[in-house]
Structure 1
């Protein structure tokens, strides 16, 4: 299993400092990745831009490729093109649409509370399902700076609207943890997304914490093909494994579903490298 981690990436990790306690900080994460022979990572925060943190970590660990970026929750002004522009200027490579403050995510979290007031939370579409002007501006900024766009925790219909608009612009989109019950994409939606040039992310978080079975993950991967899939952990929680441990365990359980070392290499090395190369070309 050590060989499977050699050269692997985890492009979805939550580290300290953060507004909640995390499994480890940036430095400990980097040391662990180097020790396991992994090639790089992306550090994510729901509320703060991680571009500068990633750049500092990259300087201290030149053998790694480290990416950061901005998540468009209320602390950065919501769906805010200016925040994306500044992140890109600081070296940000990724932009995620709203996550914990996405209205659709909050609707799922409060699905048993029909009277809950969710008006303060964020959507990327209007009542008719059309993308808001500022969401289109975010895609324009991301395209100009060759940032990779993650759909975050917005609903699948909203995410597909982003995919279609991004395809018109030549912007790369990743369906963030597409199997998560809070924002899950159907097989048909995933197939349409990859046909338009998007990638599908599957994070070990949903399987490790019993949200989505490994059998369902395998079914979804087979439906679109490994060459369109990015494996990550989405770890950083105190009750989760470390990122390197999570990637190793994810590989192990996917092998029980018939995936080969070559196929895992595509999803853990080749696809993230392809995404990072696209980001690097803007430098």
Structure 2
């Protein structure tokens, strides 16, 4: 697939980083595979991509993609759903060994996800004949009945700090987010990120977001929730929230890679056009799309 952006839009995309992009192989059908996403982003001028797989670690396969598609920084990730053992410190250590830079706490297997959308299950792909029937799985909670953070979560955060990787909150509940943020502050871990602020299952009140900011949390704002076939979140609400939290704590991403949404590169182009319309300066846009993601990924500063 080729893009025929205007010269101005082509210039706009140079050096951007998308830290949240879904690709194939995946149990959900996706419009792009790892290679296509990497090649297209490189052609568009991206500096880096983090490729996300909901059900399996992908940092090992991203090592191979990196060899096939030079000229762009590519990173794998891990999502702590049941398919990798849930809250499994050993899965985290293994993924780090393969170069994983971003980890997400449970998403589709989080209890909060199940409460919001229904019982979490493995999706079925029509083109994969002979797939096993879907079996409900228990939702994952990060705190015990008394509200205390489970020991394995504390261990996972300690591993993340030691390896200097990013941890996204995924689809966990607000009380769990607060518990994780308190532990991250206690141990001095500064790369905890609230995943897709304003998404319908994680649309927390501003006062809670500010409390999390006081604990040192960072905030990811994705274009996905604004898509017409999703919850049609207001871009004004998202940009007002960035302002309220402080640009320095925030960054943008797409969370795209679904057939009913915009192409990920178009989604990033939209974000870069929307932000100035809401009063963000070029320096602020550079921070949100380039400098802050680079710092989180441990990439050297540019310019």
Shorter-chain TM-score above 0.5? yes
Q: By how many angstroms is 1:39 displaced?
A: 0.5
Alignment match of 1:183 (pick from 202, 223, 228): 202
Unaligned runs of 5+ in 2: 1-8, 120-135
Alignment match of 1:245 (pick from 263, 266, 276): 266
Q: Is contact 1:179-1:217 (8 Å) kept?
A: yes
User: TM-score, normalization: structure 2?
Assistant: 0.85
1:204 paired with 2:212, answer no
Partner residue in 2 for 1:78? 86
Q: Is contact 1:124-1:158 (8 Å) kept?
A: yes
Q: By how many angstroms is 1:252 displaced?
A: 1.8
Larger radius of gyration: 2
Q: By how many angstroms is 1:195 displaced?
A: 3.0
* SS class of match (1:249): helix
1:90 paired with 2:80, answer no
* SS class of match (1:62): coil
Runs of 4+ in 1 over 4 A off after TM superposition: none
Q: Could you tell which deviates more after superposition, 47-56 or 265-274?
A: 47-56
CA distance in 2, matches of 1:110, 1:51: 30
Instruction: Please report the RMSD computed on the Cα atoms of aligned residues, expressed in angstroms.
Output: 1.8
1:258-277 matches, within 5 Å, as 258-277=279-298
Superposed CA deviations along residues 99-141 of structure 1, whole A, max 9, x for unmatched, are 0111011111149xxxxxx881111111222111111111111
* SS class of match (1:46): coil
Q: By how many angstroms is 1:245 displaced?
A: 0.9
1:1-283 matches, within 5 Å, as 1-110=9-118, 120-171=138-189, 172-208=191-227, 209-277=230-298
Q: Is contact 1:181-1:211 (8 Å) kept?
A: no
Which structure is higher in RCO with an 8 Å CA cutoff and minimum separation 6?
1
Q: By how many angstroms is 1:262 displaced?
A: 2.3
User: TM-score, normalization: structure 1?
Assistant: 0.91
Q: Is contact 2:21-2:49 (8 Å) kept?
A: yes
Partner residue in 1 for 2:130? none
